[in-house]
Amino acid sequence: MTDPSTASAVTTAPEEFVTAAEHAEVKGNKPRSLASDAWHDLRRRPLFLVSAALILLVLLMSFWPSLFTSVDPNYAELSKSREGPSGAAWFGYDNQGYDLFSRTIYGSRASIIVGVAATLLTVLIGSTFGLLAGYYGGWLDGLMSRIADVFFGLPFVLGAIVILSSFRSSGDTSPTQIILLVVLSISILSWPVCMRIMRSAAIAAKQQDYVKAARALGASTSRIILRHMLPNAVAPVLVYATIALGAFIGAEATLSFLGIGLRAPVVSWGVMISDSRDVIRVAPHSLLFPAAFLTATVLAFVMLGDAVREALDPKAR
Amino acid sequence: MTTTQSEVDFEGTAPVPGAPLLEVDNLFVEFRTRDGVAKVLNGVSYRVEPGETLAVLGESGSGKSVTAQTVMGILDMPPGVITGGEIRFHGENLLKASPKRRREVRGSGIAMIFQDALSALNPVFTVGFQIEEQLRLRKGMSRRDARKRAVELLEQVKIPNAKGRVRQYPHEFSGGMRQRAMIAMSLALDPEMLIADEPTTALDVTVQAQIMDLLKDIQVERNMGLILITHDLGVVAEVADRIAVMYAGRIVEQSHARDLYRKPGHPYTQGLLDSLPRLDLKGTELTTIKGLPPSLLNIPKGCPFNPRCPRVQDICKTEVPPQHRLAPGRLSACHFAEELISGD
Amino acid sequence: MTDNIIEVRDLVKHFPVRVGVLFKRTVGHVRAVDGVSFDLKRGETLGVVGESGCGKSTLAQVLMRLEPPTSGTATFEGRDILKMKGGELRKLRRDIQIVLQDPYTSLNPRMTVGDIIGEPFEIHPEVAPKASRAKKVRELLDVVGLNPEHINRYPHQFSGGQRQRIGIARALALRPKVIVCDEPVSALDVSIQAQVMNLLGDLQTEFGLSYVFIAHDLSVVRHLSDRVAVMYLGKMVEVGTEEEIYEHPTHPYTQALLSAVPVPDPELRDHRQVIRLEGDVPSPVDPPSGCRFRTRCWKAQDICATEEPKLVTRVANHPSACHFAEEKSVVP
């Protein structure tokens, strides 16, 4: 061990390991993170491609509805009330004489906004609490988990009715405020699920040796949480978020249908389904088209979530 | 002096009336994965006789466990695909046998024990129940007879207080006891052949020694064939009659234990022995094998060991070395095997 | 005065065993480390061997301040490691580093190799100015025998042995004086294990490191160690130079341990003296009274149950914690 020639042997060693480098080179592109690996994998899944195409279409509809239709969704012609699909109006007209195609296109915006905003808020609250509970453990974890249990125990629809009806009774509320309220009530009732997912992922990440190594280097708590635990715990939350987005769009529709969510003049799929309630027998198309778009969108997000889960699953690789 | 891989010749082993107990003949297995086709086994042949211990030695990824799983018929397919070869048990090709026949052979013909006894035992049933279940289903024993036999089996593997222990769950056993319980379970149907896949790797040295002694005793007592799959050159030296060294899905050397340690017939075996720290010898620098084992997705042309071999020549990079017969019962897949043995 | 870089005295680490869901109550203690004392000399390698549950890994955790000690002292260059706080503790991190066992979980899969080896400099920015860090990381990769070009790769693109080299480079980054190696080669294949062991040996010479080398493999420990300590159930039972322990062991446990190691030489198969211990290691929650090894010891007498043998020199010029210490060579 004291032979200086052997020490120099170490520094010349890299050439010996070219064989190992070659292993990686076989697979083509050079540095591959887990994310890029997952992306590589996703691109080859039909499930992902179909759902992604659907979601892109819906997003496009919500951002640039004018690309799809030039009809004003808020222009009603009572004379055309309940008219069926035709060449002029592909989806027909509803009870009030609104063009259903135009409203379905424009309605995607409110649905997507509620879905995305509620998901972001849910993930933000849930992940923060989950990470803290997972890292610190002990009484903090106990307290946070019990609070989460309380919220988790509330039935979703009942909870939403209570929240929305108590906050909305104060006279007239603007459409923005209504959207905000709906987003808030969905998030408040949903964050415990996200917290549980993040908490268990964080606990698993915390027990890994690389966290031990970082602590041995003297890394601060924030560094360990943000640099080591979060990136390794984020995958299951990502999957949850994708599926939740679909579910929240459905939840918006549920609340609107019950008359406590969005309402006219806001156009959303839920509002449209709610409007069709009384005329289902005579004008089934007024229910069919928004419901079909809603179902397809929810399904697309759930499928996307499944595809992402499989792509991120380390056991599969 | 050279033979093809399918004509493995074992003059050195005991004379056989009729077919040998187990014969693996030119076995090829591939794993078809998303990243490509991994050639896991590339013509593996070996033979085991009653009462004989064959050690299959190799590093991770060498294919030693896959061979055993294929013999047992428990290989995951997909991704595994058997692309060639035969596995003969008493002369019967198991790969052509019906699923029913294979189930019969599994357990009562060939049994297997695993490295991780805790996950190989079902945590929700008592150890006794798991042994009795086999006896009742496969041998039609009554509940009471099966219990009696289970206690006997646990006593055979030297578990103290076997009568009380049958009622316990796997998690109530210590690591060594669990491995004993798994051995008892594998013996329940009186197999003629036992495959032990890294049976002591997860155990401490003192417990490892106990388990190896036990395996050896049981083998002698029952005149069983034993395949010991391991990466530990020390364990092999203590128990094996013959050794097969695997590298990148091929058997690179097959030999009687003593010959192999005295004079390795393949540069890879030589490298393994040289890189092993010894309890009884204190050296200064270990001689290492340079580089890494090849990726099975991309096995080097010619001899798979050529990029790491200190004796590499041009021929090694182009031609797969055939099995050279160096002595009765001794094979080496190296172009220069004879020189290795006779030379310096 | 002395050239001991680390001195550990009567170190104790007990983990409470708690039961109950909401109101946890302590029903006992796992006596993982139960009164351990030893010195690490500058530039030497102290091997610590023992079977699982003997407390050798906990010892590493406590020395690294990853777990708080229950009692005892441990000094590094005269300063008490176990009492350090804040800035002083951060500074200690530059002097003592650790290499962990599992090359698969010890590297963050979401960070590139450059980020992993560069992290010590980010945590201790005073060590190297920002501009020089990339160069330093490349140098470190070179020192541990990896291609500096691979700085942007992720851990899963490397094999087990290469990952262990990355772990060693990370430990080496701050130029520590002591490295605690917690089973650094036990997860590796034989041919790769030898490469990493040689690297550790070479680095010691090059950088004047002192190692606490923890392993269960007695052959590996012998190969790298100058002195060896044998642990059993939270206690050190025998301490001596590599030669004293392997050629002249006096504690029955050391002798049994050595005789259980398979030697890769079939010629010796029938000529070796074999000591086979009965049963398993007792639970560290409720260790035997007196000498902890007495339940498995063939020499046990009444005194062993009542009086705990001290770790003192009785025979053969090195300390051994056995009332009936007696030299016996078991290695062929």
List Cα–Cα distances, B58 to A17, A153, B39, B215, in angstroms: 21, 55, 16, 20
> Comparing C-alpha atoms, which of B231, B254, B210 is closest to residue B54?
B254
Sign of CA dihedral C215, C220, C224, C230: positive
The answer to whether C201 contacts B60, with C-beta atoms less than 8 Å apart, is no
pLDDT for B3: 42
Sign of CA dihedral C111, C114, C117, C118: negative
Residues C104 and C146 in one domain: yes
Any chain A CB within 8 A of the CB of B76?
Answer: no
Identify whether A297 is part of a domain.
Answer: yes
Instruction: Say which range, A256-265, B13-22, C95-104, has the weakest mean pLDDT.
Output: B13-22
pLDDT for A23: 42
Identify whether C275 is part of a domain.
Answer: yes
Residue of chain A nearest C179, judged by CA positions: A216
pLDDT > 70 in chain C, percent: 98
* Residues of chain B neighbouring C262 (CB-CB closer than 8 A): 208-209, 212, 232, 234-235, 237-238
The answer to whether A34 contacts C142, with C-beta atoms less than 8 Å apart, is no
The answer to whether A14 contacts C145, with C-beta atoms less than 8 Å apart, is yes
pLDDT band at C22 (very low <50, low <70, confident <90, very high): low
- The residue ranking higher by pLDDT, A12 or A32, is A32
B290: tokens are 């340079």
Average confidence (pLDDT) over A12-27: 37
The answer to whether B291 contacts A23, with C-beta atoms less than 8 Å apart, is no
Residue of chain B nearest A10, judged by CA positions: B290
Any chain A CB within 8 A of the CB of C88?
Answer: no
Q: What are B145-184's pLDDT values in tens digits?
A: 889 889 989 988 888 888 888 888 888 888 888 888 888 8
The answer to whether C170 contacts A213, with C-beta atoms less than 8 Å apart, is yes
Edge to edge, the sheet with strand C312-313 lists: C96-99, C178-182, C210-215, C45-49, C227-232, C235-241, C319-320, C312-313
Q: Is the pLDDT of residue B255 over 60?
A: yes
Residues C253 and C210 in one domain: no
Residues C31 and C161 in one domain: yes
Question: pTM for this structure?
Answer: 0.82
pLDDT > 70 in chain A, percent: 85
Please answer whether residues B340 and B266 qualify as being in contact, where contact means their C-beta atoms are separated by less than 8 angstroms: yes
The answer to whether B258 contacts C260, with C-beta atoms less than 8 Å apart, is no
- For chain B, the average pLDDT equals 84
Please answer whether residues B247 and B62 qualify as being in contact, where contact means their C-beta atoms are separated by less than 8 angstroms: yes
Residue of chain C nearest B204, judged by CA positions: C51
Average confidence (pLDDT) over B187-204: 87
Rounded to a whole number of angstroms, the distance from the CA of A6 to the nearest CA of chain C is 7
Chains that touch C (3 or more CB pairs under 8 A): A, B
Any chain C CB within 8 A of the CB of A316?
Answer: no
- The residue ranking higher by pLDDT, A290 or B11, is A290
Q: Is the pLDDT of residue A170 over 80?
A: no
* Residues of chain C neighbouring A11 (CB-CB closer than 8 A): 142-143, 145
Any chain C CB within 8 A of the CB of B205?
Answer: yes
The answer to whether C202 contacts A33, with C-beta atoms less than 8 Å apart, is no
Chains that touch A (3 or more CB pairs under 8 A): B, C
pLDDT > 70 in chain B, percent: 93
Q: Is the pLDDT of residue B6 over 50?
A: no
Residue of C23, C67, C108, C191 for testing the chain A interface, max A β-carbons within 10 Å:
C108
Q: Is the pLDDT of residue A19 over 60?
A: no
Identify whether C233 is part of a domain.
Answer: no
pLDDT for B7: 41
pLDDT for A258: 86
Q: Is the pLDDT of residue B293 over 50?
A: yes
Cα–Cα distance measured from residue C222 to residue C201, given in angstroms and rounded to the nearest whole number: 12
Q: Is the pLDDT of residue A31 over 80?
A: no
Chains that touch B (3 or more CB pairs under 8 A): A, C
pLDDT for A313: 65
- The string of DSSP codes covering A153-197 is HS-HHHHHHHHHHHHH-SS---HHHHHHHHHHHHHHHHHHHHHHH
Residues of A with CB under 8 A from a CB of B: 1-3, 6, 16-17, 19-20, 22-23, 26-27, 41, 317
pLDDT for B284: 62
List Cα–Cα distances, B305 to B12, B291, B294, B315, B318, in angstroms: 27, 10, 8, 12, 12
The answer to whether B297 contacts A26, with C-beta atoms less than 8 Å apart, is yes
Residues C176 and C33 in one domain: yes
Q: Which of A1, A16, A20 is facing B284, going by the closest CB pair?
A: A1
Task: Note which residues in 158-177 of chain C have CB less than 8 A from chain A.
Answer: 158-159, 162, 167, 170, 174
Instruction: Say which range, A24-38, C127-141, C214-228, has the weakest mean pLDDT.
Output: A24-38
Q: What is the total count of domains within chain A?
A: 1
Task: Note which residues in 280-319 of chain B have CB less than 8 A from chain A.
Answer: 284-285, 290-292, 294-295, 297-298, 307-308
Q: Is the pLDDT of residue B2 over 50?
A: no
pLDDT for A314: 52
Instruction: Say which range, B273-287, C105-119, C170-184, has the weakest mean pLDDT.
Output: B273-287
Identify whether A32 is part of a domain.
Answer: no
Domain around A125: 38-316
pLDDT for C176: 93
pLDDT for C236: 93
The answer to whether A19 contacts B291, with C-beta atoms less than 8 Å apart, is yes
Residues C322 and C262 in one domain: yes
Q: Is the pLDDT of residue B11 over 50?
A: no
Please answer whether residues B233 and B272 qualify as being in contact, where contact means their C-beta atoms are separated by less than 8 angstroms: yes
Residue of B37, B275, B295 for testing the chain A interface, max A β-carbons within 10 Å:
B295
Identify whether A9 is part of a domain.
Answer: no
A310: tokens are 């499989």
pLDDT > 90 in chain B, percent: 14
Q: What are A59-100's pLDDT values in tens digits?
A: 988 888 887 777 777 777 777 777 777 777 677 777 777 888
Identify whether C104 is part of a domain.
Answer: yes
Cα–Cα distance measured from residue C260 to residue B205, given in angstroms and rounded to the nearest whole number: 6
Cβ neighbors of C2 (< 8 A, separation 6 or more) are C39
Cα–Cα distance measured from residue B315 to residue A270, given in angstroms and rounded to the nearest whole number: 75
DSSP run (H or E) holding A224: none
User: Residue A284 CA to chain centroid, in angstroms?
Assistant: 30
Cα–Cα distance measured from residue B324 to residue B332, given in angstroms and rounded to the nearest whole number: 5
User: Residue A17 CA to chain centroid, in angstroms?
Assistant: 43
Any chain C CB within 8 A of the CB of A210?
Answer: yes
How much is the CA Rg of chain C, to the nearest whole Å? 21
Total CB pairs under 8 A between chain B and C: 131
Cα–Cα distance measured from residue C230 to residue C245, given in angstroms and rounded to the nearest whole number: 9
Q: Which residue has the tokens 């030898």?
A: C194
Residues C49 and C174 in one domain: yes
Domain around C269: 244-332
Strands B193-197 and B110-113 turn out to be parallel
C205: tokens are 């010479």
State the CATH number of the domain containing residue A213.
1.10.3720.10
Average confidence (pLDDT) over C218-246: 92
Please answer whether residues C237 and C321 qualify as being in contact, where contact means their C-beta atoms are separated by less than 8 angstroms: yes
Q: What are C188-213's pLDDT values in tens digits?
A: 888 888 889 989 999 999 999 999 99
Rounded to a whole number of angstroms, the distance from the CA of C303 to the nearest CA of chain A is 42
Q: What are A115-142's pLDDT values in tens digits?
A: 999 999 999 999 999 999 999 988 888 8
Cα–Cα distance measured from residue C79 to residue C81, given in angstroms and rounded to the nearest whole number: 6
- The residue ranking higher by pLDDT, B146 or A169, is B146
Identify whether A121 is part of a domain.
Answer: yes
State the CATH number of the domain containing residue C70.
3.40.50.300
Strands B225-230 and B193-197 turn out to be parallel
Strands C4-19 and C71-76 turn out to be antiparallel
Q: Which of B35, B292, B307 is facing A27, going by the closest CB pair?
A: B35
Residues C55 and C156 in one domain: yes
Identify whether A64 is part of a domain.
Answer: yes
pLDDT for C40: 93
pLDDT for B119: 78
Identify whether A141 is part of a domain.
Answer: yes
pLDDT for B59: 85
Identify whether A239 is part of a domain.
Answer: yes
Residues C180 and C125 in one domain: yes
Cα–Cα distance measured from residue C232 to residue A317, given in angstroms and rounded to the nearest whole number: 40
pLDDT for B76: 82
The answer to whether C203 contacts A219, with C-beta atoms less than 8 Å apart, is no
- For chain A, the average pLDDT equals 80
Q: What is the total count of domains within chain C?
A: 2
Residues C308 and C206 in one domain: no
Q: Which of C264, C280, C331 is facing B237, going by the closest CB pair?
A: C264
pLDDT for A6: 35
Residues C253 and C208 in one domain: no
- The residue ranking higher by pLDDT, C328 or C115, is C115
pLDDT for A197: 93
pLDDT band at C20 (very low <50, low <70, confident <90, very high): low
Cα–Cα distance measured from residue C20 to residue C5, given in angstroms and rounded to the nearest whole number: 43
How much is the CA Rg of chain A, to the nearest whole Å? 26
Q: Evaluate the omega torsion of the peptide bond into residue B79 and state whether it is cis, within 30 degrees of 0.
A: yes
Residues C98 and C29 in one domain: yes
Identify whether A25 is part of a domain.
Answer: no
Please answer whether residues C245 and C301 qualify as being in contact, where contact means their C-beta atoms are separated by less than 8 angstroms: no
Cα–Cα distance measured from residue B68 to residue C101, given in angstroms and rounded to the nearest whole number: 29
Cα–Cα distance measured from residue A6 to residue C288, given in angstroms and rounded to the nearest whole number: 48
